[in-house]
């Protein structure tokens, strides 16, 4: 059989064999010896690959011509010699062997069902049948590898035709399990539609998918699930439209899909039902495909039913609320959709969920009965406020800010100042426009309505008081919030408390608060399991908070000229995140304090490499460049560009205005002195009303 490795010798070998079905051993002793060497050849790469052939030999005492070709073809295929393998496989006359294969399978199936041994011996062993069917499968795969997809599909179909006609009632349980017959059938069932798709034969692909799912192939649950999902995806996105399936086995009352879309929906709903019965693992893409299909069909109410039936814990609550709201809105059930959005936008969920706000505003705008909700006006105000921060022209920015405040005030009046979400945004807009008294009133009203249950409300109220330089009152608010909040919600509150202590010059107290906060984070990480639930549920919030604490402590120690302690804090921060603009900036400030301006400049520029919009680094870079540079126009232009960039990102930064005033004042002209005075005036006003932390 070594001769079969070359085409020329293969022809000679063919001439040596007078009958394809007779044993090579009974015809020629030399050929028999060659057959033995072929078996040895296949044993060398992987002994387990010829277990079936060895079993067949034990049963019949010989290895016939077709089986030898199947073995050699498999060996060539496993070596990667695809063309050689195909050449060997094509020498197997499957048409001549098909009746014997069918008879053997049929007899094997009857024995399984009746458990009787009274039947005559079949013409082939199950092991021999398995070997030959595997050869057909490998031939199909070889054709696939060579890009001959249609021929591969036709070859693969032969296997399923043989098995179906031999066992019309399906494969019995564990039939052929000892010789991998079931595995070969399963792989063929999976491969056939894929080959038809690659051959650009969508109708044949659809028929193959239906054949795979409607005939009893005794497939594993995972295999059936995979085929169902792939079929549904193909029906949805291929653009192919086939005639309705012929479900003769279904009862008269059963649903029969009328088109590809309905068939895809049916398949996806079956998959969801399997998940609900805990037969398969959760696959979120199934719901995504079903959402698309039912949306296209216009039946979003059915999608809502499917989402509501899902087991808890596999979808985020906020995602469920929003998806259901979309479904009911699509089904013209606006009141139900709005109720779901109220739950989503509540303080316990996500009051700042922008898609939910947008949908709520759309519902309120379309339905006059919901206009009093004020959601649309609130969303308009939020949008205008966000837009004002990106506007370059000063007059445009002021205009957008005025429009934002007007929209939020309108929303407040429409809800009689009784909606905490609207009050929060209104208070925030007042505070950012430095209308602190009005901001304070809204924040107090909001806190009263919520009963002190929202940490964001406490923080905003404290920051407004700090902007009014009422640091003691602000700290009292934080203490009250700490008393009412749960222990795992106190991180931001403690950090704000430390900032308030720094603003009052109480550096030792601030260090003690930061130390308490670090201990709190350590306990929290141990309680939840570090790197597991906490980081997953909070989006690594504790890691970010710890990073900022080390930055804050570094600035405290720099102010106290305790440089070694500051360096320790910065090394701790670097261990958490080596690419932090805040850490690089703090490092630059440390160098600047030591009068190492070139090193400071490198640190500030490194921070800007990480985050080009880092405002503190833009300002510090301008300050150091002004110290290092000359009084040339080029130096002036560069420094001014850094400061103007900082102001374009944060118009309320008093340090940027102050340093811009110094730059103008250094020019010594009357016009520049006037500009400097305006900058100093803005800097003083903003510094006097600056909170210890940004309002937003």
For the chain, give every domain's residue range: 59-108+123-169+178-219, 612-695
Q: Which pLDDT band, with edges at 50, 70 and 90, does 507 fall under?
A: very high
Taking residues 450-461, report their average pLDDT. 90
CA–CA distance, 62 with 375 (Å, rounded to integer): 84
- 683 within 8 A of 661, measured Cβ to Cβ: yes
Look at residue 36 in the predicted model and tell me its pLDDT. Answer: 40
As to burial, measured by CB atoms within 10 angstroms (0-12 exposed, 13-18 middle, 19+ buried), residue 346 is middle
| pLDDT at position 521 over 50 | yes
pLDDT at 57 over 50: no
Residue 117 pLDDT > 60: no
Q: For helices 375-388 and 354-366, give the axis angle rounded to 10 degrees.
A: 130
Choice between 62 and 559, residue whose per-residue pLDDT is larger:
559
Q: What percent of the chain has pLDDT over 70?
A: 81
Q: Do 474 and 693 meet the contact criterion of CB atoms below 8 Å apart?
A: no
Cβ contact 517:553 at 8 Å: no
* Phi, then psi, of 67 in degrees rounded to 5: -65, -40
The structural architecture, per CATH, of the domain 59-108+123-169+178-219 is Alpha Horseshoe (1.25)
Q: Do domains 59-108+123-169+178-219 and 612-695 have the same CATH topology?
A: yes
Distance of alpha carbon 227 from alpha carbon 187, whole angstroms: 11
Mean per-residue pLDDT over the chain, rounded:
81
* Contact yes or no for 208/193 (Cβ under 8 A): yes
Q: Is the model's pLDDT at 669 over the cut of 70?
A: yes
Give start and end residues of each alpha helix (H) in 238-374: 260-276, 284-297, 300-308, 317-330, 334-344, 354-366
Question: Tokens representing 237?
Answer: 């996105």
User: Where is mean pLDDT largest: 104-108, 265-269, 468-472, 523-527?
Assistant: 468-472
Other CB atoms within a 10 A radius of the CB of residue 496 amount to 24
How far is the C-alpha of 174 from the C-alpha of 165, rounded, in Å? 19
What's the rounded mean pLDDT across residues 49-71? Answer: 61
Predicted confidence band at 123 (pLDDT cuts at 50, 70, 90)? confident
Question: What average pLDDT score do residues 276-294 get?
Answer: 85
Distance, C-alpha 633 to centroid of its chain? 51
DSSP 392: -
Distances (CA, A) of 72 to 9, 39, 40, 158, 165: 14, 8, 11, 21, 28
Give the SS3 label for residue 693. coil
Give per-residue pLDDT as tens, 7-53: 433 333 343 333 333 333 233 333 334 334 444 444 444 434 444 54
Q: pLDDT per residue over 389-431, tens digit each?
A: 777 777 888 888 898 899 889 888 888 888 888 899 999 999 9
CATH of 612-695, one of 3.30.450.20, 3.40.640.10, 1.25.40.10, 3.40.109.10: 1.25.40.10
pLDDT band for position 541 (cuts 50, 70, 90): low
Q: Per-residue pLDDT averaged across 660-671, rounded?
A: 91
């Amino acid at each position: 059989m070594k001769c079969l490795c070359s085409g020329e010798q293969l022809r000679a070998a063919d001439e040596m064999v007078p009958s394809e079905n007779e044993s090579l051993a009974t015809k020629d002793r030399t050929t028999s010896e060659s057959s033995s060497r072929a078996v040895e050849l296949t044993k060398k790469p992987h002994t387990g690959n010829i277990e079936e052939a060895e079993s067949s030999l034990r049963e019949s005492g010989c290895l016939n011509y077709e089986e030898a070709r199947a073995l050699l073809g498999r060996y060539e295929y496993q070596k990667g010699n695809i063309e050689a393998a195909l050449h060997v496989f094509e020498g197997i006359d499957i048409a001549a062997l098909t009746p014997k294969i069918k008879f053997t399978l049929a007899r094997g199936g009857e024995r399984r069902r009746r458990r009787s041994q009274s039947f005559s011996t079949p013409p082939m062993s199950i092991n021999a049948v398995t070997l030959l069917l595997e050869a057909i499968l490998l031939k199909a795969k070889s054709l696939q590898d060579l890009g001959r997809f249609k021929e591969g599909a036709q070859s693969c179909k032969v296997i399923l035709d043989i098995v179906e006609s031999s066992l019309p009632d399906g494969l019995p349980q564990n039939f052929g399990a000892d010789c991998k017959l079931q595995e070969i059938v399963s792989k063929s069932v999976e491969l056939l539609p894929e080959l038809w798709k690659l051959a650009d034969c969508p109708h044949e692909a659809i028929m193959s998918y239906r054949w795979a799912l409607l005939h009893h192939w005794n497939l594993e649950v995972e295999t059936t699930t995979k085929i169902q999902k792939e079929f549904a995806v193909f029906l949805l996105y291929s653009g192919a439209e086939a005639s309705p399936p012929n479900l003769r086995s279904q009862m008269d009352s059963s649903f029969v899909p009328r088109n590809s879309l309905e068939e895809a929906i049916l398949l996806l709903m079956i998959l969801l039902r399997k998940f609900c019965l805990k037969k398969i693992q959760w696959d979120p893409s199934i719901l995504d495909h079903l959402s698309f299909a039912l949306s296209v069909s216009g039946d979003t109410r059915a999608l809502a039913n499917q989402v509501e039936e899902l087991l808890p814990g596999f979808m985020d609550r906020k995602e469920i609320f929003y998806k259901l709201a979309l479904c009911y809105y699509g089904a013209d059930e606006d009141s139900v959709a709005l109720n779901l959005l109220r739950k989503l936008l509540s303080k316990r969920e996500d009051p700042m969920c922008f898609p939910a706000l947008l949908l709520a505003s759309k519902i309120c705008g379309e339905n006059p009965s919901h206009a009093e909700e004020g959601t649309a006006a609130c969303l308009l105000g939020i949008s205008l406020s966000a837009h004002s921060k990106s506007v370059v022209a000063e007059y445009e920015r002021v205009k957008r800010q005025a429009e934002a405040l007007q929209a939020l005030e309108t929303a407040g009046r429409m809800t009689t100042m009784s909606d905490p979400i609207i009050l929060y945004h209104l208070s925030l807009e007042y505070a950012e426009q430095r209308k602190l008294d009005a901001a304070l009133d809204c924040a107090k009203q909001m806190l009263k309505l919520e009963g002190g249950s929202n940490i964001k409300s406490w923080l905003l109220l404290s920051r407004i008081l700090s902007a009014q330089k009422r640091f003691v009152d602000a700290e009292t608010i934080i203490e009250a919030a700490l008393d009412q909040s749960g222990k795992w919600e106190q991180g931001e509150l403690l950090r704000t408390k430390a900032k308030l202590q720094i603003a009052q010059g109480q550096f030792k107290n601030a260090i003690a608060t930061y130390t308490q906060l670090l201990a709190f984070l350590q306990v929290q990480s141990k309680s939840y399991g570090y790197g597991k639930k906490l980081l997953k549920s909070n989006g690594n919030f504790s890691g970010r908070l710890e990073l900022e604490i080390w930055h804050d402590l570094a600035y405290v120690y720099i102010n106290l000229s305790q440089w070694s302690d500051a360096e320790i804090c910065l090394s701790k921060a670097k261990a958490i995140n080596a690419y932090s603009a805040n850490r690089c900036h703090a490092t630059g400030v440390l160098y600047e304090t030591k009068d190492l301006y070139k090193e400071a400049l490198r640190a500030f520029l490194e921070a800007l490499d990480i985050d080009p919009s880092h405002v503190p680094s833009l300002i510090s870079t301008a300050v150091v460049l002004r110290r290092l540079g000359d009084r040339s126009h080029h130096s002036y232009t560069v420094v001014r560009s850094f400061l103007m960039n900082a102001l374009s990102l944060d118009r309320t930064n008093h340090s940027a205005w102050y340093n811009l005033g110094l730059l103008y004042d250094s020019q010594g002209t009357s016009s520049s002195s006037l500009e400097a005075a305006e900058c100093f005036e803005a800097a003083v006003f903003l510094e006097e009303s600056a909170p210890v932390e940004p309002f937003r």
